[in-house]
Amino acid sequence: MTSQPGDRLNSIDRTVTQAQVEAYADAAEDHNPIHLDADFAAKTPFGRRIAHGMLTLALVSEMLTSAYPNNWASGGRLKVRFRAPVFPGETVHVIGEVKKVTESDGVRLAEITVGVKKDDGEDVITGQAFVKLD
């Protein structure tokens, strides 16, 4: 378990596909045409379809689940900002680094800087995760 300041979590690289966006739309019951309808999306400021923000955020949770399987699932928290859209076909890189570990009442808590970046370095998501270590 990664638990010291400066420790890096195993990163995840994923190419987001339109098929994933469509599957997510069905699972989340979020059929906003910005995600699904190319003609509609072409008329928006984005100019094309975008992935759901929560689909991209799920990749952060995947990384945290891998690093802290039980602890993340039983009470991990996120505080993030969405910075840029992800377009189907783009590859994103999910990163995390332990910023600090605090202890209170015998419980150790890791604060982890998390992020999702595009190939060109543009931030998609930035923020912090918090997970109990004990």
* Ordered per-residue pLDDT tens for the chain, 134 residues: 668 999 999 999 999 999 999 999 999 999 999 999 999 999 999 999 999 999 999 999 999 999 999 999 998 999 999 999 999 999 999 999 999 999 999 889 999 999 999 999 999 999 999 999 97
- For the domain spanning 12-16+51-132, the CATH number is 3.10.129.10
Residues in the chain: 134
Q: CA torsion sign, 73 to 128 to 12 to 125?
A: positive
From CA 91, how far away is CA 87, in angstroms rounded? 9
Q: What is the pTM of this model?
A: 0.92
Q: Give the pLDDT confidence of 91-124 residue by residue, as tens digits.
A: 999 999 999 999 999 889 999 999 999 999 999 9
| 97 in Cβ contact with 9 (< 8 Å) | yes
Hunting for tokens 């783009």 — which residue is that? 90
Helix axes 18-28, 53-67, angle to 10 degrees: 90
Q: What is the pLDDT of residue 2?
A: 62
Q: CA torsion sign, 68 to 70 to 73 to 79?
A: negative
